Amino acid sequence: MSGYRELIVWQKANKLIGRVYELTEQLPKGDLFGIGQQMRRATVSISSNIAEGYYKSTSDYLRFCRIAYGSAAELDSQIQALKEIKFIPSLNIHQTEVQTIEVLKLLNALTFSLKKKIDAMKGLPRKGS
């Protein structure tokens, strides 16, 4: 199936879900429904918004990508919190952090590209003018 599944950003965001689930499994059981649950929701939101926006208009797709970017930034913030509370070895956190930053960079590039496309469409003369 072609479509959003072919996007590298979606593929990497989807792999990040598995990584975050593995990471949050290492949290103390009492905390799983705190920061662990928030991290899982944020991560799933990233790939879900990329997929949902893909089949919408360009301006809507840009909006969904911005939401995905916000979720990735939220995840990055939660990763920084994990570093502070030191429940999980830093090496495990670092790998997730690197993947999250990669997704943020790819989303930034995608949103820039979509914004450029929208700006170009606005610059075209209107039909019947």
Does a structural domain hold residue 129? no
Mean pLDDT over 21-38 rounds to 83
Q: Phi-psi region for residue 3, left (φ > 0), alpha (ψ -120 to 50) or beta?
A: left
Q: What is the pLDDT of residues 5-21, one digit of tens each?
A: 999 999 999 999 999 99
Q: Is 15 within the bounds of a domain?
A: yes
Range of the domain at 63: 4-122
102 in any annotated domain: yes
pLDDT tens for each residue of 36-53: 999 999 999 999 999 999
- Number of domains forming the structure of the chain: 1
Tell me the pTM: 0.88
Q: Is the pLDDT of residue 122 over 90?
A: no
Does residue 128 sit within a domain? no
Does any domain span residue 20? yes
Instruction: Indicate whether 21 belongs to any domain.
Output: yes
* Residue closest to 75 by CA, chosen among 28, 9, 23, 115: 23
Domain harbouring 67, CATH code: 1.20.1440.60
Does pLDDT of 60 surpass 80?
A: yes
- pLDDT tier, 125 (very low <50, low <70, confident <90, very high otherwise): low
Say yes or no to pLDDT of 91 above 90. no
Mean pLDDT calculated for residue range 99-112: 97
Closest by CA to 42, choosing from 8, 76, 88, is 76
